[in-house]
Amino acid sequence: MNFNDKQKEEFSFQALGTNCEFIIYGCNAKYIGNIGKREVEIFEKNFSSYDGNSEIGKINKNSGKLTELSRECFDLIKKSIFYSELTEDFFDITIKPLVNLWSVGKDNFNIPSDKTINKYRELVDYKKIELREQSSEIKLNSGQQIDLGAIAKGYMADKLKDIFVTLGVKSGIINLGGNIVLIGSNINEKPWTIGIQDPFENRGEYVGIVSLIDKSIVTSGVYERFSIKDNKVYSHIINPKTAYPIVGEILSISIISNKSIDGDGLSTGLYILGIEKSLKILKELNLDGIFITKDKKVIITEGIRKNFILTNEEFNIV
Ligand code: AMP
Ligand code: MG
């Protein structure tokens, strides 16, 4: 690397409902980072399920009717369905009515009546989405609503990496609210070191450190958003089959992959599936993962074990 490659720019902004950060090295880092920021803003405008004018907003408003989509949106929905199939249907973008009903992490969190839960549960089923490949059209079953929140950050992080690399970036980090994508190695030509958040402590307290080059690491965790009622912790991830938020053994799951969309698309569904089934699926897909449980156990797949250092003695690797 020459002198100019060591120029560093850091970006920090709010988008996609979370904190976004880039660290970029190189002489055009500032210019390139601003392009990336703008891309995130454009993407958010188009894909937010909270904006009635976005493509997702239009699909939801048109529930029961055909809506023509951009190819990008059509393909992202198709990709989401691929992850549903990989995770025994636990990842389901038609989850939105249940997300709204439960409002986990919000002030109005409340446990709905069984009757209401059953009514909403019937709306959730991605298999009822009709996709017309030729015309890029979609039709939800009447009353269905979609939310790409569980996959959008991974998709966008990959897109940013493509843009940055095309523009010549050889070293950098993209972090979209816990979806971390690494470009190359760090500025000293060593692996990047990424802290795995301690789910019991404030942000920035770690269980351990993982060393990676040019990979994506995506974490889904209860600690990000949850509600507590009668000493029970309800996570922001909802099991589409029971229509209840998960109150499980796993507090966080981090997936290491080449593409961030794989990590994001899988982490939510695997979280519901539990450790044993997740380990089997990760092995079949040749991906790695780190799980942290309620009783402070750390489970790490074979492929990543030598890259992980436990830094917190309260936890045990099993
Ligand atoms: P992530 O942080 O990627 O695990 O995404 C979690 C977000 O996805 C939640 O805040 C919900 O908006 C949404 N979500 C919750 N449960 C599911 C599910 N079973 N399938 C798809 N999306 C979900
Ligand atoms: Mg996800």
Question: DSSP per residue over 170-199, as a string?
Answer: -SEEEEETTEEEEESS-TTSS-EEEEEE-T
User: Ligand 1 pocket test: which of 237, 254, 273, 291 has the largest number of ligand atoms within 8 Å of its C-beta?
Assistant: 237
Question: DSSP per residue over 288-306, as a string?
Answer: EEEEEETTSEEEE-GGGGG
Q: At what angle do helices 260-273 and 275-285 cross, to 10 degrees?
A: 150
Query: How much distance in Å is there from the Cα of 215 to the middle of ligand 2?
Result: 16
User: Ligand 1 pocket test: which of 88, 247, 268, 291 has the largest number of ligand atoms within 8 Å of its C-beta?
Assistant: 268
Q: What is the pLDDT of residue 3?
A: 53
Q: What is the pLDDT of residue 49?
A: 84
Q: What is the pLDDT of residue 4?
A: 62
Question: Please, which pLDDT band fits residue 203 given cuts at 50, 70 and 90?
Answer: confident
pTM: predicted TM-score of the whole model, two decimal places? 0.94
Return the amino acid letter for 18. Answer: T
Quick check: 26 and 185 in contact, CB under 8 A? Answer: no
**Which atom of ligand 1 lies closest to the CA of 104?**
10
Mean pLDDT in residue range 82-111: 94
CA angle 19/281/261 to nearest 5° reads: 30
Which pLDDT tens digit goes with each residue over 255-275? Answer: 999 999 999 999 999 999 999
Q: What is the pLDDT of residue 108?
A: 87
Which pLDDT tens digit goes with each residue over 232-244? Answer: 888 899 999 999 9
Q: What is the pLDDT of residue 2?
A: 58
| Residue 220 pLDDT exceeds 60 | yes
Query: How much distance in Å is there from the Cα of 83 to the middle of ligand 1?
Result: 12
| Residue 141 pLDDT exceeds 60 | yes
Query: How much distance in Å is there from the Cα of 269 to the middle of ligand 2?
Result: 8
Higher pLDDT, 172 or 107: 172
- Contacts with 38 (C-beta within 8 Å, 6 or more apart), sequence order: none
Which pLDDT tens digit goes with each residue over 173-197? Answer: 999 999 999 999 999 999 999 999 9
Token digits of residue 71: 């190819």
Q: Is there an atom of ligand 1 within 6 Å of 266 CB?
A: no
| Residue 222 pLDDT exceeds 80 | no
Q: Is there an atom of ligand 1 within 6 Å of 87 CB?
A: no
| Residue 102 pLDDT exceeds 70 | yes
Q: What is the pLDDT of residue 110?
A: 87
| Residue 282 pLDDT exceeds 70 | yes
Q: What is the pLDDT of residue 1?
A: 55
Q: Is there an atom of ligand 1 within 6 Å of 267 CB?
A: yes
